[in-house]
Chain A
Amino acid sequence: MAILETQGLTYVYSEGSPFQKTAVDHVDLKIDEGEMVGVMGHTGSGKSTLIQHFNGLLKPTLGKVLLDGEDIWADKKNIRDVRFKVGLVFQYPEYQIFEETVFKDIAFGPKNMGLDEAEIRKRVLETAHDIGLGEELLERSPFELSGGQKRRVAIAGVMAMNPKVLILDEPTAGLDPAGRDKILGHIKAYHKRRKNTILIVSHSMEDIAGFADKILVMNKAKLFCYDDTEKVFARAEEIADIGLDVPQITKVFIGLKKQGLDFGKDVYTMEYAKKLLLKKLAEKGGTKNC
């Protein structure tokens, strides 16, 4: 059953002013429970606007958002519960940090949920572990930490609410490759353990390729496609047409196909490419296991 669903979701910024802008245009979607979804699209395609509807931060201009089959705006009083069920980590979340210690900052969300001290403590320790923050950091001031660590503190602040759906808006923006891999690795591990639904926004295919079950592509405020990762990558050329970069390795394989070397499959991770190539080489009678 779909945990999140949108029906004709439309959002217009500054309606009626000279700056009017339709940022999300009639989007229909169904996201199933437990899936890891990559949300992609060019800058300004409406990704951030779309995801802010899922936890009720933005109210649709038109259309509906259903969580567990219920319209989240049916009763305005319940909107705060929706925010606990659907955790949203904004882009550059480190700018929302405000407490004196890392522990207190991660505890802010759980505290707002009205949990008791013991439960809060348990959740903070658990999430800090999940996201790879050592216990010795918890009593430090978050403002003394490195950029990547701050980002993880902020992500932990949302994860600690144990949301059924966790949404991260460009969690790797502005990080160095090592910091990026670290965060993505932790998110992946968290997903494996909790089995909750995760949406990751990114404009880099490379980020998403290896680990999303499904990919949602936004283009100019419209839903371009939403499908299994392989099926989306099978449309690599179309995706390149709307200005998104497919992974480097996919490009290489598209090139090979044009040259007449067809593997019959779409390739978007290094490991898979290696496997295919080695197999091909073996068939041709080259040396095995190089």
Chain B
Amino acid sequence: MLRDITIGQYFPGNSLIHRLDPRFKIVITFIYIMMLFTGDHIVCLSVGAVFTAAAIILSQIPFKMFVKSVKPLMPFLILTAALNLLFISSGDVYFHWKFIKITSEGINVSVFMLIRITLLIMGSSLLTYTTSPITLTDAIERLLSPLKKLKVPVHELAMMMSIALRFIPTLIEETEKIMAAQKARGAEIDSGSFMTRAKNMVAILVPLFISAFRRADELATAMECRCYRGGEGRTRLRQLCSAPRDYAALAVTILFYGGAAALGIVLK
């Protein structure tokens, strides 16, 4: 159920992907997204697919977890595919009924988009699966640090993000506990009419908000007790340092991107 939401989840490990410098991983993920969006030919996409498969194998994380990452977004994916399928009217017509036409072009586009978005989700999940939230925000802070000159509060943003990431699993756990407690009192959450379900949402949201505020308050107090006062002059416990393998990984990614882009131009 709720635990199926894998956003921000981290699977500790020691694979090549786990050991990459998080700053490089973020940059690589961006290049990867561009790779998926160059060219509209299925061959370009298959380059992205090969890249994803290789990265997943290298990460040593069970493929099942990637299927899980796509699952919560499945309704959205299916809706997009269905809309493309039903409303694209160019290409050979296979089936025609009133205003609905199923055409070769429609099938192509919907399958294409389906694969593209699935790859996108899997690839970005790989980033959070293999990088702990703390290193991830550290890396983001470092990558964005030039913006400090423009008075962008980079440290504060990164801190907010790491706190948010840190509390996703906690809040999910809390929600599950509260749901179980209310179910034990006969609240209908998965079944029942829409109205009763909406009413029962109150029984979950009120305690959840109360506990979230309580936690925020406690955290703020704890931070103040340790004299936290922002990023100015703070040193780090974990220094990020890049190794040759990081550059190699970046080079391979750029190569794949170049390949996909070149194929896109050739096949046009």
Contacts and interface: CB of A to CB of B under 8 A. Distances in A.
Contacts of A90: 177, 180-181, 184
Contacts of A55: 184
Contacts of A201: none
Interface stretch (A4-12, A106-114, A222-230, A256-264): A106-114
Main secondary structure of the interface of B (DSSP, over half): helix
Nearest to A109: B185
A195 B185 CA distance: 21
A272 interface: no
A112 B185 contact: yes
A80 interface: yes
B184 A112 contact: no
A16 interface: yes
Interface in A67-103: 80, 83-84, 87-90, 93, 95-98
A108 B207 CA distance: 14
B206 to A, nearest CB: 4
A20 B210 CA distance: 31
Nearest to A100: B206
Nearest to B203: A98
Contact of B184 (A16, A18, A87, A143): A87
Contacts of B105: none
B187 A98 contact: no
A80 B206 contact: no
Interface residues of B, number: 24
Interface in B119-163: none
Interface size range of chain A in the complex: 20 to 34
Contacts of B244: none
A31 B111 CA distance: 56
B186 A113 contact: yes
B187 A112 contact: yes
B52 interface: no
A14 B61 CA distance: 15
Contacts of B62: 16-18
B185 A108 contact: yes
A89 B65 CA distance: 33
A98 B206 contact: yes
Nearest to A88: B184
Contact of A17 (B64, B181, B183, B203): B64
Contacts of B183: 57, 83
B64 A96 contact: no
B207 A98 contact: yes
Nearest to A92: B177
Given A57-B184, A112-B185, A113-B186, A95 B178 contact: yes
B3 A112 contact: no
A112 B188 contact: yes
A30 B64 CA distance: 38
A14 B176 CA distance: 14
Contacts of A84: 186
Contact of B181 (A18, A93, A112, A143): A93
Given A88-B184, A108-B185, A158-B184, A17 B65 contact: yes
Interface string B206-249: 11001100000000000000000000000000000000000000
B29 interface: no
A57 B179 CA distance: 10
Nearest to B181: A96
B186 to A, nearest CB: 3
B202 A16 contact: no
Contacts of B211: 95
Nearest to B65: A17
B155 to A, nearest CB: 32
B47 to A, nearest CB: 30
Interface string A236-252: 00000000000000000
Given A18-B11, A90-B180, A95-B181, 9 more contacts: A14-B3, A17-B62, A57-B180, A57-B184, A80-B186, A80-B191, A96-B203, A98-B203, A98-B207
21 contacts: A14-B3, A16-B62, A16-B64, A17-B64, A18-B11, A18-B62, A52-B180, A57-B180, A57-B183, A80-B188, A83-B183, A83-B185, A89-B184, A90-B184, A95-B177, A95-B178, A95-B210, A96-B203, A98-B206, A112-B187, A161-B185
Which 6 pairs of residues, A with B, have the shortest CB-CB distance? A112-B186, A98-B206, A96-B181, A109-B185, A88-B184, A90-B181
